[in-house]
Structure 1
Amino acid sequence: MPETAATVEFRGLRREFGPTVALDGLDLSVEPGELLALLGPSGCGKTTALRMLAGFEHPDAGEVLVDGEDVTRVPAHRRDAGMVFQSYSLFPHLDTLDNVAFGLRMRKVRTSERRARAAELLELVGLADKGGRFPHQLSGGQQQRVALARALALRPRVLLLDEPLSALDAKVRLSLREEIRRLQQELGITTLFVTHDQEEALSMADRVAVMHAGRLEQCAPPSELYGRPATPFVAEFVGTMSRIPGRLADGTVDVLGQRLPVDGPVPSATEVDVLVRPEAVRVRPEADGKSRVVATSFLGAAVRVTVRLADGTEVKADLAAHEAAELTAGAVVSVSLPERPVLVVERTR
């Protein structure tokens, strides 16, 4: 495994595909031994950035650095990076052991050494007894474990994961993301993980870089990203967020009959939307309330209650089961927010 974890830097990366700007001046640093998730919708540039680090794409402008060395034009086979793809990309004619050892074979490592190394990695990913099986004899989750072991066989300085779990079913996905995180922490390898699944990103990463239209919107630890989103896009892309109409005055916002301080930038417009998470919304039965419950759904530890305000706006609230017991569809309720700063954006409707 890597003796020292690598640092990675993207400096001003720009990449255009015809009229489409895939990356628009991306600046991003990855710390040694960190697992950083690149999160965003399709077409945001996250995979393009990963492929530039791998050496499969080259920028129109900007630089890629690993441990301070400019590798922007270094060929992929000299990048010292291991990559795991969405499709397992295993060789169907090779058994599991030889699939893992393939890169070592290409580097002309002695047979005994490469087979010992492959066996060690199969044990690491929990497949020690599957060395003689062929890909078609393995489940999807097992095949992806083999692909991960193969990527680690050459002891890369950087591990790159391009949506490696998206082809798997939900239960296997959950198990494998825990396994990947355990291995990454055990090995201390610098890792970039591309995903469009916010739950994967928030549960696995040390930091999450949210991308939109080729630009970096915010890079922060999961708790900060969720609790203090830097932009409206991050606020609404990460987790569930409701928009409640409000009115700005003197640096505070009037919303739901309350006056609350504003968190972050204050728009110049008077009419704004207040962005609130479901767990921050309070809903109580009230005979003369001005809102009405539209629907409820059971989420396990909580019940999600959808409420329609007097102006027709729908707001989601996550409540404990005992709090939601009386909140059946049609119930008349009051809605309020805690007395703390809220994020506001200019109203778009």
Structure 2
Amino acid sequence: MTVTENANLAVSDTGTDTGTRASTRTGAALRLRGLRRSFGSAVALDGLDLDVAPGEFLALLGPSGCGKTTALRVLAGFERPDEGQVLLDGEDIVPVPANRRDTAMVFQSYSLFPHLTAADNVAFGLRMRKVRGAERRARAAELLDLVGLAGYGDRFPHQLSGGQQQRVALARALALRPRLLLLDEPLSALDARVRVTLREEIRRLQLELGITTVFVTHDQEEALSMADRVAVMNGGRLEQCATPTELYECPATDFVAEFIGTMNRVPGRAVDGGGRVEALGVTLPVQEPDGRSGDVTVLLRPEALEVTTDGPARVTGVSFHGPTTRLRIALPDGTDVKADVSTHAAAGLTPGTAVSVRPRQRPVLLAAAPTGGAV
């Protein structure tokens, strides 16, 4: 797709004069119902159902090939589903062409016109709608100020940094006050410091404007730090859609438990009708008892492990993370686990140090079967 095509599609045309709209508005309600999309024998979406509340910021997260990008392209109108509906405020927009949907999209590659200034790029969609020149220029200046680029309107894209170009792309998407904002990994091409700053700015703007937003990313930190809820996808299906805290603390499936953050898998034995489990010498409550007994695999976060000096286990690796340090530890049975301890407590715990590892007393999740090893 060319830069021109991307820019044209980035701001959809509904034929509405933006001058008649309020400066802020409540976002649209979005519902996906039974979305299916295949490419030959490859199934990209397999009956996806998802609700997004008005003004909500939803992140689509998952491994490569999980279907998150296909879902976003269906929302934008770049892909037509084989089956299913996309309901925007109750209206099925699947038959509506991409350039006629009241949506806006920010791309990973910025997609700015190189021959236009920042202000003209922002005003591009307004010019296509034949908004008057003075109003168009005022709106562009307002949006550039909103994204922190006041005074940059006369600069061309090659005179801007990557982060500044992405701010211009965001301002262009917001210029038409869309009901739905779509973000296609807009931060992945930026360096780490700029990514952190810009994700905070995007979230601030989204909250201020109240626009319903769907954000595709492969970066867990971005998803968990920005979104109201995160939809974790796998194999074209929705594994779980919940708040970041709920995803981390109460994952609904083994896949979510091991995909979000870091998870250790250690052998254990379910007792008391599956309500409790014995692991690493400690008896722990099971978060969601399923009646199993006997050998199971216990899922433990690194911060759920206590480490003390002297014992049968051995430190095999040390990784500094500022206030915390991650230890890699080999247990006597050959299982490797990761434990997060305060950096102060980790002083002296060098590779080869003998240690003991015990789980903290908190409910734990069980996997389907013991496999050993740390994830």
Q: TM-score range by the shorter chain?
A: over 0.9
Q: Distance in 2 between matches of 1:336 and 1:326?
A: 19
Q: Distance in 1 between matches of 2:253 and 2:281?
A: 25
Match of 1:141 in 2: 163
1:262: how far off?
1.4
Is 1:274 matched up with 2:298? yes
1:238: how far off?
0.8
1:270: how far off?
3.3
SS of aligned partner of 2:119: helix
Query: Cα deviation per residue 1:150-205 (whole Å; 9 max; x = unaligned)?
Result: 00011101110000000111111111001101111111111001000000000000
SS of aligned partner of 2:248: helix
1:267: how far off?
7.4
Q: Distance in 2 between matches of 1:261 and 1:319?
A: 23
Q: Which moved more, 1:331-340 or 1:263-272?
A: 263-272
Q: Distance in 2 between matches of 1:68 and 1:210?
A: 24
Match of 2:336 in 1: 314
1:143: how far off?
0.4
Match of 1:101 in 2: 123
Match of 1:165 in 2: 187
SS of aligned partner of 1:324: coil
Q: Equivalences for 1:22-171 in 2 at 5 Å?
A: 22-171=44-193
C-alpha change, 1:27 and 1:127, in structure 2 (3 Å) is: same
RMSD: 1.3
Query: Cα deviation per residue 1:206-256 (whole Å; 9 max; x = unaligned)?
Result: 110000110001111111111111111111111111111112232122111
8 Å CA contact retained: 1:7, 1:30: yes
1:51: how far off?
1.2
Between the two proteins, the alignment pairs up a number of residues equal to 347
Q: Distance in 1 between matches of 2:344 and 2:145?
A: 47
8 Å CA contact retained: 1:10, 1:64: yes
Query: Cα deviation per residue 1:56-76 (whole Å; 9 max; x = unaligned)?
Result: 111111100011111111111
Letter in 1 for 2:115: H
Q: Distance in 2 between matches of 1:267 and 1:324?
A: 38
1:3: how far off?
2.5
Match of 1:197 in 2: 219
Q: Distance in 2 between matches of 1:227 and 1:342?
A: 10
Is 1:259 matched up with 2:283? yes
8 Å CA contact retained: 1:267, 1:344: no
Match of 1:244 in 2: 266
Is 1:214 matched up with 2:236? yes
1:55: how far off?
1.2
Q: Stretches of 4+ moved more than 4 A in 1?
A: none
Match of 2:17 in 1: none
TM-score by length of 2: 0.90
**Identity score, percent:** 69
SS of aligned partner of 1:97: helix
8 Å CA contact retained: 2:58, 2:230: yes
Q: Which moved more, 1:244-253 or 1:179-188?
A: 244-253
8 Å CA contact retained: 1:294, 1:307: yes
Residue ranges of structure 1 left out of the alignment (5+ in a row): none
Letter in 2 for 1:272: V
Q: Distance in 1 between matches of 2:128 and 2:278?
A: 66
Q: Distance in 2 between matches of 1:111 and 1:96?
A: 15
Q: Distance in 1 between matches of 2:157 and 2:364?
A: 52
Q: Which moved more, 1:144-153 or 1:339-348?
A: 339-348
Letter in 2 for 1:211: M
Match of 2:14 in 1: none
TM-score by length of 1: 0.97
1:348: how far off?
5.6
Q: Distance in 2 between matches of 1:124 and 1:339?
A: 48
Is 1:18 matched up with 2:40? yes
Q: Which moved more, 1:247-256 or 1:157-166?
A: 247-256
SS of aligned partner of 1:310: coil
Q: Distance in 2 between matches of 1:93 and 1:231?
A: 50
C-alpha change, 1:326 and 1:266, in structure 2 (3 Å) is: farther
Letter in 2 for 1:255: A
1:271: how far off?
2.5
Q: Distance in 2 between matches of 1:64 and 1:267?
A: 39
1:347: how far off?
2.6
SS of aligned partner of 2:284: strand
